[in-house]
Every structure is written in C-alpha cells, then in structure tokens.
Amino acid sequence: MHNMIKNRSQLFVLSKCSRWNVNTFYDCQKTDNSKLGNRQAQLMARGLPKQKPITGVKQIILVASGKGGVGKSTTAVNLSAALKSVEPNKIVGLLDTDVYGPSVPLMMNLHETPLLTRDNMMIPLVNYGLQCMSMGFLVDDRSPVIWRGLMVMSALEKLLRQVAWDAVDYLVVDTPPGTGDTHLSLIQNLPLEGVVLVTTPQAAAVEVTRRGAVMFQRLKVPIIGVVQNMNTVVCPKCHHSLSLYGHGTEALTSELGVDLLQDIPMDPAITETTDQGKPIVVALPNSSQAEAYKTLARKVITFLKKQEVPENKI
C-alpha cells in the first residue's frame, strides 16, 4: 500500500477517505480528476475565440493531413484549379497557411510582393483565374523562416484577416503537416465548410492521417472525404495500373465513415507541370489526370451543397 502513495497529493487524497483501501483510493482519485477536468474544460471554453468569417469569402475548405510529403499542396492547387474549371462563373481563392514551407508560389508561378489597399490590406496575387495568398509572397524564397510560435501565429493572423479577397465563392486552404497551432487557430477562428484529408496508403502515413481526422472530428469540423495519393503507377506502354502500397486508405475511410473521394496516381506529368508552376488541370485540361481532379472538385461541390441550409429554415 505504501508503494502506491507516490507523492503528497495522493496522500492528501487518501486522507479524505474513510477507509484506507485500494478501491476507496481510486474512487477518490477519479472524483478529483473529474472535477479538475471539468474545471479545465470550463476555463478553455471561456478563452476560445468566436468564429468569424473572412471578409470577402463565402465558403472555406481545408486540405489537410497529419503527415507531410503526401501531396497536400499539389492537391490543394489542383483542386482550386478544378473548382474554377468545373464552375467557371465562381470565384476561387487559394490560401497557403504553411508559414515554414510555403509551396503555392512555386506551384502557381507567383513570386511578386502583394500590393496594399488604402486600408493596408494585401491584394491577392492572381494566376490562372485564381486569387492566391501565401507567406511565400512576403519573404525571400531562399531565406528560411526561423520563427517561434508566437511569430507564426501573428503571421497567420495577417493571412487570415489582412487580405482583400474579392468576392471569393470557394477558398481552398492548404495547411502544414501536423495537428498543431495553425490547425487549431483555423478551426477556432473560421467557419469551415469541411476538410479534405490527403494521404498515401502506407501505414506510417495512414496512422498520422488518422490522428488528424480524429482532431477534426472532435472539434466538429465536417470531413468531406479522403484523397488517396501516389498509390498507383500506370505503365506508359501497356497502361496497366500497379498498386504500390496496398489498401490502408480504404481501411481508414471505412473506420471514419467517410468517402474515398479520389485516387490520384503517381504520375510524372503531375510532377512536371507542378514544378513548372502550372497545375496539370490548367496545363493538360483534357488529360485523365486533370479529369481526376475535376471529379474531386465535383464531389466537393456536391458535399457543400448538401451542407447548405435552405433559406426557409434560416
């Protein structure tokens, strides 16, 4: 019994019990932990910011994954271009919130510094009909961003609240890897329509993506579905499709109860066009690869329409 009493706090808990036995000790400990947990929840709820829309933006879609290197930015860029292609009358924006490793400047071939309005709001850069904003527009592309968390949050706040978006119907937000401050800030500050999760099927990526999915579920962000990336290669001669990693993504979607939105193959054309700063949806609009992203865009639009509240119910 004495071995179980490891510190004074436990001794204090035991002193409140009428009988010194194991069951009573654990009952008291659970009660105190429950009270502490409730108190912490109340304090956290008290400090949460209120969600506030981004001025000039109607609907916000996150592209995320707990794992890095699975093709989030490529998916975000081509999803944005595909949304514009499928619904040309809609205005589409692309926001890159990866402060440390922004990819949108390269993938969208945009390297200028944004102009400012009279109110000191940054005017998004435009290419291929898409309004774009990224931290990469504000720093030298050869200089690393060596910042602590508070500076990153300050930069994120500028990207969220100091950009003059022009009547954007869909804003696609490319997020960094992980489940940290950036994601929490986006979720707590913005009314999100949903999140598209991106993963490759190997266990290492799926496990981390699962953690990201659980975070979004716990914080009540709708999961639109999962994009499986780079699982297959197609032989250029016989056109046979070969699976590289297996069926980990299918197991994940089944577990989460969400749809597998699209299976994007590992294809040199996607890499080459992206590296050239021209998304494949724009560079090769009639290709099978571009059609895969357009199908993804249509599924996202269908999901968003189902989320809309009828006017007579508002």
Tens of pLDDT, residue by residue over 91-148, are 999 999 998 889 999 999 999 999 999 999 999 999 999 999 999 998 877 767 776 7
At residue 31, the pLDDT reads 58
Instruction: Give the residue, 9 or 293, on which the prediction is more confident.
Output: 293
**How many whole angstroms separate alpha carbon 63 and alpha carbon 273?**
20
Q: Where are the alpha helices (DSSP H) in 200-247?
A: 203-218
* 63 Rama class: left (phi>0) / alpha (psi -120 to 50) / beta: beta
Closest CA to 93 of 174, 162, 158, 13: 174
pLDDT at 266: 86
Question: In sequence order, what are the residues at sequence separation of 6 or more whose Cβ sits closer than 8 angstroms to the Cβ of residue 256?
Answer: 210, 213, 217, 223, 226
Query: 171 near 203, Cβ under 8 Å?
Result: no
Residue of higher predicted confidence among 38 and 58: 58
Q: Which two tokens stand for residue 238?
A: 């016989």
User: What's the mean pLDDT when you consider all of the chain?
Assistant: 84
The one-letter amino acid at 98: D
Pick the closest to residue 268 from 294, 249, 297, 289 (CA basis).
Answer: 289
pTM to 2 decimal places: 0.81
In this prediction, residue 263 carries a pLDDT of 92
The answer to whether the CB of 307 falls within 8 A of the CB of 300 is no
Nearest-angstrom CA–CA distance, 270 and 148: 34
- Higher pLDDT: 28 or 245? It is 245
Whether the CB-CB separation of 197 and 119 falls below 8 Å is answered with no
% of the chain with per-residue pLDDT over 70: 80
pLDDT of residue 35: 63
- What is 8-20+39-309's CATH number, 3.40.50.920, 3.40.50.300, 2.60.40.3080, 3.20.20.70? 3.40.50.300
Rounded distance, CA 135 to CA 118, Å? 21
CB 168 within 8 A of CB 58: yes
pLDDT at 168: 97
Query: Which whole number is the average pLDDT over 26-51?
Result: 59
DSSP state of 128: T
Q: Is 23 a residue whose pLDDT tops 60?
A: no
